Structure 1
Amino acid sequence: MREKTIDYVLRATWMAVSKMYNEEAGKAGSTMATGFALLSIDPEGGTPSTSLGPKMGMEATSLSRILKNMEEKGLIIRKKNPSDGRSVLIHLTDFGKEMRDYSKRVVLRFDEAVKESVSEEDLKTFIAVADTIMDLINNKKIYTDQISIR
């Protein structure tokens, strides 16, 4: 393709952001996925394990692997949910809270750097375009009819 497709721009940008986050997380012996999980857990009351997957947009099997690893590293502990004995709450340990703060600083620094380099108007346009793309996907407005193979 001579022109970059929207898909290409999105994919290449996300891959670069993901690589950058993994490099930063690696400096603290972590990963982007772990940082994302840390930021998705309520630091005060914990988060039900069943709501964590949908919150992060992850499949249960991938999430369980991440949570197991986080537990082994001492970032989280699992406790029975006092309001529903059948479910489990994921709580951050003190170390988990420290790493959550680190992850938060990494994300906020990225935001600051982008905001320093992109005008407010361009950023609003970018967010509006991203929202429109999400709407098209979530409401299944793109592939409404079959595309032929030939």
Structure 2
Amino acid sequence: MTPPPDAPAPDVPDADMLRLDHQVCFSLQAASRAFGGVYREALKDLGLTYPQYLAMMVLWERGPLPVKAIGERLHLDSGTLSPLLKRLESAGLVRRERGPEDERSVTVHLTDAGSGLRERALPVPRAILRATGMSVQEVITLQETLRRLTAALDHAG
């Protein structure tokens, strides 16, 4: 049986619940910050930031997409995504086209340079895996756990 969500954590006295090292959110934030540093180094030769890299991965994987679909895939709102896409367009990696029937709809396409960048990005995932010091199976298990956590938190809010 699963304890209710507001139940105290087992084996942790109430007096210790506010300790920083007992906060899952802090562990996730610290890991995210550390990943940011590793990605910054891995992506510098590509001239991409981490969020730009994520957008490029979506386009490499799926081809031309409406801005809305990219935002949904990355869990980003248009206020965050639009400036990111403008910078990728300025760098010559993507082009944005307004829909002929609906001017509000914008589809993002890779340019030849954007498509070509995929080849140069291929070593990045292995570099990140090496930096984690974890096995492939450990990373897969962590990803599954984080997906479940995200889904639970999305439904809790």
TM-score range, shorter-chain basis? 0.7 to 0.9
- TM-score of the two chains, using structure 1 as the length reference: 0.74
RMSD (CA atoms):
2.7
SS at the partner of 1:77?
strand
The match for 1:107 is: 125
1:29-44 equivalent positions in 2, closer than 5 A: 29-42=47-60
CA deviation string 1:56-107 (max 9, x = no partner): 11121111101111111100112344xx631222110111112233334312
Contact 2:66 2:107 in 1 (8 A): yes
Identity fraction in percent: 21
1:26 aligns with 2:44: yes
> Following the alignment from structure 1 to structure 2, what is the Cα–Cα distance between the partners of residues 31 and 58?
15
- TM-score of the two chains, using structure 2 as the length reference: 0.72
Shift of 1:124: 5.2
1:42-81 equivalent positions in 2, closer than 5 A: 42=60, 45-81=63-99
> Following the alignment from structure 1 to structure 2, what is the Cα–Cα distance between the partners of residues 44 and 70?
17
SS at the partner of 1:117?
coil
SS at the partner of 2:148?
helix
Quick one: which amino acid aligns to residue 151 of structure 2? D
> Following the alignment from structure 1 to structure 2, what is the Cα–Cα distance between the partners of residues 65 and 21?
20
